[in-house]
Amino acid sequence: MSFANSHEIITNQDGLNENLDDIVNKHLAHEFRKPYQQHSIDGFKSVEQEIARAGKPIIFDSCCGVGDSTINIARQHPEHFVIGMDKSGHRLNKNEAYEQHGVDNFMLLRTDLNDFWRLALEAEFKIDKHFILYPNPWPKAKHIQRRWHGSAVFPTIVALGGELEMRSNWRLYLDEFSHALSIVGKSSDVKEFTPEPTITPFERKYQASGQALFQLKAQL
């Protein structure tokens, strides 16, 4: 008997989800109109202020978790302002992070990206790069619409533009995202890769348990 590593993906899909094309096309045909939550609007306003203050080109670090990747990306891109966003409450205190890491070209925001991305698009944000590192996989076939490419906000992710980089320990997630991009006429590359250095806690955890890691890149 073999046991799956505790962090390994266990899925009942053996290829691209059979409903992927229909779902993506449905979301392309119908605008996502869910009303914004007030705290999303308030958070967005604070981002607009920070961006105006920073006066630098923008990088999104979406689903940033505790924000380690945000700080790493900020350090790697000193000429950019990096916005790390996550819906969970594990926000780093900005000042603490500044003292600890010696970079100040970033901010962290607790927000639901289903709102934030649409608000950013409406405000005509121009983003240079967009990182979505280790999004929740939702590996059961019936949960396809919880994956970003199966969600109603997928067309917004594409329309935001920039150079997209996604990472996952589940190749099929990225293959599906890549396929969804092809439906909107965007090409992308998916490959296995070794991050050097690792920049997120999940990345470190997966690598430490010997799992293969994958990367998708696309110019949107």
Ligand X SMILES: C[S@@+](CC[C@H](N)C(=O)[O-])C[C@H]1O[C@@H](n2cnc3c(N)ncnc32)[C@H](O)[C@@H]1O
Question: Residue numbers of the site for ligand X (CB under 6 A)?
Answer: 63-65, 69, 85-88, 112-114, 133-136, 200-203
29: its two tokens: 């045909």
Contacts of 179 (CB under 8 A, 6+ apart): 16, 20, 21, 149
Tokens at residue 80, please?
């950019």
Q: Output the smallest distance, CB 154 to ligand X, in A.
A: 13
Q: Would you say 55 or 116 has its CB closer to ligand X?
A: 116
Q: How many whole angstroms separate alpha carbon 137 and alpha carbon 148?
A: 9
Q: How far is the CB of 135 from ligand X (least distance, A)?
A: 6
Task: Give the Å distances, CA to CA, from 20 to 23, 75, 103, 123, 175.
Answer: 5, 37, 40, 29, 11
Task: State which residue, 103 or 133, has the beta carbon closest to ligand X.
Answer: 133
Q: How far is the CB of 84 from ligand X (least distance, A)?
A: 9
DSSP summary character for residue 19? T
Instruction: Specify the residue, 18 or 136, whose C-beta has the smaller distance to ligand X.
Output: 136
Instruction: Give the C-alpha separation, 81 to 78, whole Å.
Output: 8
Q: How far is the CB of 1 from ligand X (least distance, A)?
A: 28
Residue 76 neighbours by CB under 8 Å, 6+ apart: none
| Cβ proximity to ligand X, 175 vs 203, nearer residue | 203
- Rounded to a whole number of angstroms, the minimum distance from the CB of residue 85 to ligand X is 6
What's the closest the beta carbon of residue 68 comes to ligand X, in angstroms?
Answer: 7
Q: Which amino acid is at 5?
A: N
Using the minimum distance from each CB to ligand X, give the nearer residue, 101 or 182: 101
Q: In this structure, what token pair is assigned to residue 16? A: 């691209």
